[in-house]
Every structure is written in C-alpha cells, then in structure tokens.
Structure 1
C-alpha cells in the first residue's frame, strides 16, 4: 500500500507541475482571468494534497483502517475537486454545457476536508 500511495503522490505532483507550466505558457492567452484563477486553485490544491499523500505514504502505518480511509479521501478528493475544475475550464473554453460538473467540485472538497479530519483523529485517538 505504501508504494501505491507514494506512486499516486508522485503522479499527482508531477501532473500539477505539468499543468502549471502548460497554464502559464500555453493557456494564459487563451483563458479568461477567472478561468486562470480557477486553474491556479485546482493546481495548488492538487499539489498540496499530493504532498500530503507523499507524507501519508512515507509516514503512516498501514495496519489500521483509518490510515487507509484518510488516504483514500485525499486521492478521491484530489480527483474530484481538481479534476472537476479542470473539466469546467476545458468545457468553458470549448463553450460546451458544463452544469453536471458543478456539484462535483464541492464533493471533492468535502473528501479533502474529511481526509484532514481523519488525519487529526488518527493522532488524537
């Protein structure tokens, strides 16, 4: 499990860097200011949580279900939160309907919050 979590962290961290560079060099002239701010938010949250995953993978004991649950919350949260924002930006750029992605972003944020709460509980219990 540790290797899987660290691999996810590396992939998510690497893609955050790639998307940041792509946004800064390619998309800057193609997106609106609001879209660029949303892109920066998605990338920032992805990177922060990729670092949290890296810590989880290297520091947590995988013998308890709380470690697995909080790590899964981080992974699902990143994919839903940042992924839905990337989708909203792409569909907005292509001028396609995007209403179905709107509710996914806060759901991803909820998973991230639950992951942090579970991490705190792990050390309080």
Structure 2
C-alpha cells in the first residue's frame, strides 16, 4: 500500500527536521532532561518511520495480508502518540502529556507483534 510508503517518507522527513530543530533551536531553550526527552522522541520517530517504509514494501509483496496493514496503522498511531506527546510536552512544559506516551508505546509493540504474526502466517520462505 503506497500509503505507508508516503507516511514513512514524510515521517522520516519530519524526524530529521525535528531532530535538527532540537539540536539547534531547543538546545539553549530547554533543560537538558527535556532535550533528552526530545531526542528520545526523535529516535523513536525515525526508527518507526523506517518501519512504515518496510511495511509499505511488505504491503506490495503481500497484498492480502491484512495484519501488515493493521500493523502499519498501529505503528503510525504509535508515532503520533509516543513521539507526538513527547514533542508537545517539551514545547509546552505540560508534563501530564507524558501519560499519553505509554499508549503510543503499546501501539508500537502491538504493531510489531502483528507484523511478526503476518510473517508467520505467510509461511516458510
């Protein structure tokens, strides 16, 4: 599904841009622990952007694998909730947003498990 190739590419772009913004724009404006939080958000954002690209390719190779598509949407949701909540928390100082972050982490975990399950269902290769 080209949707995940597009989402993966755009998220990779955003991850790089937000990483540069953190390194150059936030370094002198936020506390070191908040900059570390920003960097964690960027790291997870970029890793899962690559995951979305892989899922896009797998959708092409396994067009009937609904679990692959569901995994992609969960990983995208994870980026929004995990990295997104951390970005907003750093920018606004609202620490309560950190309660959303684990929901994104769970979405990542379920997405990766579903991708593994799709691979098992595909059979030996």
Same fold (TM over 0.5): yes
- Tell me the equivalent position of 2:69: 68
Query: Hey, what does 1:16 align to over in structure 2?
Result: 15
How far off is 1:64 after superposition? 2.5
Match of 1:110 in 2: 106
Q: Report if aligned partners of 2:78, 2:105 keep a CA contact under 8 Å in 1.
A: yes
Separation in structure 2 between the aligned mates of residue 38 and residue 102 of structure 1, nearest angstrom: 10
Counterpart position of 2:40:
41
User: For residues 64-103 of structure 1, what are the structure 2 equivalents within 5 Å?
Assistant: 64-92=65-93, 97-99=94-96, 101-103=97-99
- Which residue in 1 is equivalent to 2:28? 29
Give the TM-score normalised by the residue count of structure 2. Answer: 0.90
- Which blocks of at least 5 consecutive residues in structure 1 are unaligned? none
Asked if the contact 1:62/1:68 (under 8 Å) is kept, the reply is no
CA contact (8 A) 1:46 1:78 kept: yes
Aligned to 1:119: 115
- Report the number of matched residues: 119
Q: Distance in 2 between matches of 1:91 and 1:28?
A: 15
TM-fit CA distance, 1:98: 4.2
Cα root mean square deviation, aligned: 1.1
Residue 106 (structure 1) shift = 0.1
Residue 49 of structure 2 aligns to a residue in which SS?
helix
- Counterparts of 1:31 and 1:98, CA distance in 2: 14
